[in-house]
Amino acid sequence: MSSASYRLFTDATSDITEKFMQGLPEVGVVPMNVEIGGRDYTYGPGGNITVEEFYSLQRDGNFATTSQINPETYREVFEPALKDGFDIIYLCFSSGLSGTIQSAMLTIDELKSDYPERKIVCIDTLCASLGEGFLVREAAKKQAEGLDFDGMVKWVEDRRLKVCHWFTVDIFDHLKHGGRVSGVTAAAGTLLQIKPLLHVDDEGRLEVMGKPRGRKQAIKMQLDKMREGREPSLGQLVLVGHGSNPEGAETLRSEIESEFPEAEIYTLDIGPIIGAHTGPGMLAVIYWGTNR
């Protein structure tokens, strides 16, 4: 089976942009919903909220909630590709952070009955935001190189736990609102100017791994993690992500460029799906490595 006989899909959680994916095979993106300020929005293709608008609403004191992708949306996005004769590989938002994969599997089971001649595979990326986008971009590169359907499924499953995500969060408000930290922890962290360091673990869940005080110490800890675990033999791609924090992202990027001059670095926005839980000011670094 040639690489052209299947299409890759992901969801809006991945935060991929047209520029980031330029020159690679087209990847379909399933839009997602976010509620903020008492209004429902769609983020992704055909959406009605930008990253800038979302963080502006958060800075005005609004909290956001997200919801699972409904089966009808999956069908609307997947079915045209099946009708055109393509098989589908869907790289899904981590099951450790969302139940949306359950909706995906329900739809896929129905579509397999309707299109028995087609292959449809949903892969739990165990990744989130730009970590998911990182894996999607690298998969699209492999597709461009000619990797076939079965080879792609194996490649993604073999590589997904080598995508290392290290995040620092600027404020505790949104972690507290989402129930990810207690009120006592949030109050103490705010008082001490702690910028918690989180990662995505092997089950695809967010986990607090450190409590640096101040942005400078937080960035230092992110760089320490890169030194400990980065594995350039797997690839040179490095992503710097931020939630409405371009200055912090530029500082982090500059430090990475200085220490890892061979790295292929992209700076990208962290969108509303993860931003709903982490708030403005977040910084992330994603790389191939052994210390996920």
Q: Assign domain 162-288 one CATH number from 3.40.50.720, 3.30.1180.10, 3.30.70.270, 3.40.50.1100.
A: 3.30.1180.10
Number of alpha carbons in the 13 Å side-chain half-sphere of residue 24: 19
CATH fold label, 3-161: Rossmann fold (3.40.50)
By C-alpha distance, which of 34, 18, 12, 35 is closest to 90? 12
Indicate the domain borders of the chain: 3-161, 162-288
| Tokens of residue 31, six digits | 């839009």
pLDDT-wise least confident of 174-183, 212-221, 230-239, 282-291: 174-183
CA distance 205 to 98: 9
> 129 and 97 in contact (C-beta within 8 Å)?
no
> 291 and 249 in contact (C-beta within 8 Å)?
no
| Tokens of residue 259, six digits | 């220490």
CA distance 86 to 115: 11
CA distance 34 to 45: 14
pLDDT band at 180 (very low <50, low <70, confident <90, very high): low
Confidence check: pLDDT of 239 > 90 = yes
Those residues with Cβ within 8 angstroms of residue 224's Cβ, 6 or more apart along the chain or in another chain: none
Tell me the pTM.
0.92
| Tokens of residue 88, six digits | 């589908």
> 165 and 284 in contact (C-beta within 8 Å)?
yes
pLDDT-wise least confident of 45-49, 225-229, 274-278: 274-278
The four Cα atoms 66, 70, 72, 78 give a dihedral, to 10 degrees, of: 80
pLDDT of residue 172: 64
**What does the pLDDT look like over 90-140, one tens digit per residue?**
999 999 999 999 999 999 999 999 999 999 999 999 999 999 999 999 999
Confidence check: pLDDT of 183 > 90 = no
Confidence check: pLDDT of 174 > 80 = no
pLDDT band at 185 (very low <50, low <70, confident <90, very high): low
